[in-house]
Amino acid sequence: MLILEINVDTGKILEKNYELLVLGIFEEEKYHGVNGIIDKALDKEISQKLKTLEFNPKLRKTCLITTYGKIGIKRILLVGLGKRKDFSLESIRMASSSAINSIQELGITSCTFSILGDKATKISFDQIVENTVVGCELALYQFNLYKTEDQNIKKINKLLFFVYTPETSVIKNSISIAQIIDNGVNLARNLSNMPSSDATPTQIAEKAKIIADESGMTFSVLNKKEMEKFSMGGIINVSKGSNQPPKLVILEHKGGGTARPIVLVGKGITFDSGGISLKPSEKMEDMKHDKAGAATVIGTMQTVAQLKLPLNIIGIVPLTENLPGGSAYKPGDVLKMCNGKTVEVINTDAEGRLILADALAFASRYKPQAVIDLATLTGACVIALGSFATGLLGNDDNLKKRITSGGEITGERVWELPLWDDYKELLKSDIADMKNVGGRPGGVITAASFLSNFVDYPWAHLDIAGTAWTQSNVGVKPYNPKGATGVGVRLITEVLRSWET
């Protein structure tokens, strides 16, 4: 799944005859390097535009200049980089994706980015390259599997990076790392965007098998029979209202010798109707995205396998529908979970925590050094944090720190909520070890608190309910088109890339 063909070019910029060249411009632009050469050759048109405020190079702003034969390059697209002091990896992704979005509207199929290193900022040349590629490729993602019309829109398929350094092999390495990451994100987006009728637990398991074979991972799957053997009362009961059989997929990347593994767990409710505690119909279609956690784990596994990270990483993905069929589990039922604990079901719509509980308890048999789960777990998280942060809870400060700093680097930011014992009180049941809901107040926390009953290792939980998909393009990052974001793939990949044991 190559999104863009990306090549590197070097030499004298005024000898080039590119269709379009993108130049990044700071608010305090100094016209170094290519920027200065082009400005001069265009009789100061760029610096004049800044002086007269015709172009204000705030982050994400763009301005197109036609060169009318003054130089070989036909058009220049200026893209604002904002203030030098605020320059970050996120600025690079924001600027490159804004540029590519406006170029896409011009209907051309290739363009060149001028990549200027900047000594004043602490960002290295390979980080600039990597994040430019990420911004472009994530912005160009479209989910058009079901579109039979409008297929003749010209799409950008080629990028060229113009650089001064002759060390193009370093740059090519950054490009290929970025492309592996983008493919993982876009795989996760595809799985999440896919309608539930074409992404059943069985179909996702089949897809995961293909991915495992292609990327050199071990694949295994638990069917209902095996789940029964492990006493996985959570996933089995949630699946009872549907005709689709549940699956629990296990992907293993073995790059770390004898080291204990890091386990990723992703909620894979392929459709969440709420079950007998049926959801209202408004926006229920969005509940095809209730498999976003699973999608992210599969996308991340593909990424870490292709990056050949020197770690043992296991992805566990419990998959089932949550439907109100005639055999559905019901409020009042008591379930026996994978670790032997019992749960009284109060609300069948709190199903995610039930399938995760089994998967988390199951993860214990791998003696993991850490476990991270990702789940579109609670509407309460959307209320608490909106769409700009993923909820973070867990029992291990070191692991939470790694995730928080990964969030800063990738722009997939997380915000911690407390996991105090007090909240466990709210889950007390009269007849079982616990209830599956703790009331509306603190809903993100009671959900995580429920999960904490099933872990006996360093663990972090990411509630991606507010970040897994976007409702519109308004207020959204230019590299996240409407629909599934694939959130977590870049975050977890970053955490694992910088993992030190």
Q: Which residues bind Mg ion (CB under 5 A)?
A: 272, 349, 351
Q: Rounded CA gap, 228 and 487, in Å?
A: 32
Q: State how far the alpha carbon of 110 is from the alpha carbons of 140, 165, 258, in Å.
A: 12, 22, 46
Q: Which is nearer to ligand BES, 13 or 380 (CB)?
A: 380
Indicate which single residue of 29, 90, 252, 290 sits in contact with ligand BES (rule: CB under 6 A): 290
Question: Is the Cβ of residue 251 or residue 269 nearer to Zn ion in the bound state?
Answer: 269
Nearest approach in angstroms of CB 351 to Zn ion is: 6
Three state DSSP letters for 319-346: EEEECCCCCCCCCCCEEECCCCCEEECC
Instruction: Report if residue 305 touches ligand BES, rule: CB under 6 A.
Output: no
Looking at 267, 288, 353, 413, which residue is catalytic? 353
Quick check: is 353 catalytic?
yes
Residues 458-487: x/- map of binding to ligand BES (CB under 6 A)?
Answer: -------x----------------------
Q: How far is it, in rounded angstroms, from Cα 196 to Cα 287? A: 9
Instruction: Give the C-alpha separation, 349 to 436, whole Å.
Output: 10
- Least distance between Mg ion and beta carbon 330 (Å): 15
Q: Which residues contact 2 (CB under 8 A, 6 or more apart)?
A: 179
Q: How far is the CB of 348 from Mg ion (least distance, A)?
A: 8
Least Cα distance to 451 among 316, 321, 358 occurs for 358
- Spatial separation of the C-alpha atoms in residues 119 and 129, rounded to whole Å: 15
Q: Which of 108, 382, 432, 476 is close enough to bind ligand BES by CB under 6 A?
A: 382
Which listed option, Mg ion, Zn ion, ligand BES, none, makes contact with residue 412 (CB within 5 to 8 Å by class)?
Answer: none
Query: Within 10 A of 278 (CB to CB), how many other CB atoms are there?
Result: 13
Amino acid at 385: L
Query: Please, are residues 12 and 165 in contact by the beta-carbon 8 Å criterion?
Result: no
Among 186, 203, 237, 378, binds ligand BES (CB under 6 A): 378
Contacts of 175 (CB under 8 A, 6+ apart): 6, 8, 129, 130, 133, 161
| CB of 342 vs Mg ion, minimal distance in Å | 20
Q: Which of 279, 336, 341, 497 is catalytic?
A: 279
Q: Which partner in ligand BES, Zn ion, Mg ion, none is near 437 (CB below 5 to 8 A by kind)?
A: ligand BES
Residue 351 engages ligand BES in binding (rule: CB under 6 A): yes
Binding-residue total with ligand BES (CB under 6 A): 16
Selection from 479, 441, 451, 267 nearest residue 357 by Cα: 451
Contact positions toward Zn ion, by CB under 5 A? Answer: 269, 272, 290, 352
CB of 375 vs Mg ion, minimal distance in Å: 11
Does the protein bind ligand BES through residue 293 (CB under 6 A)? no
CB atoms within 10 A of CB 29: 20
Q: How far is the CB of 163 from Mg ion (least distance, A)?
A: 49
Query: Could you give the CA distance from residue 70 to residue 155 in angstroms, rounded to a whole number?
Result: 28
Q: Which residues are catalytic?
A: 279, 353
Q: Which residues bind ligand BES (CB under 6 A)?
A: 272, 290, 347, 349-352, 376-380, 382, 437, 443, 465
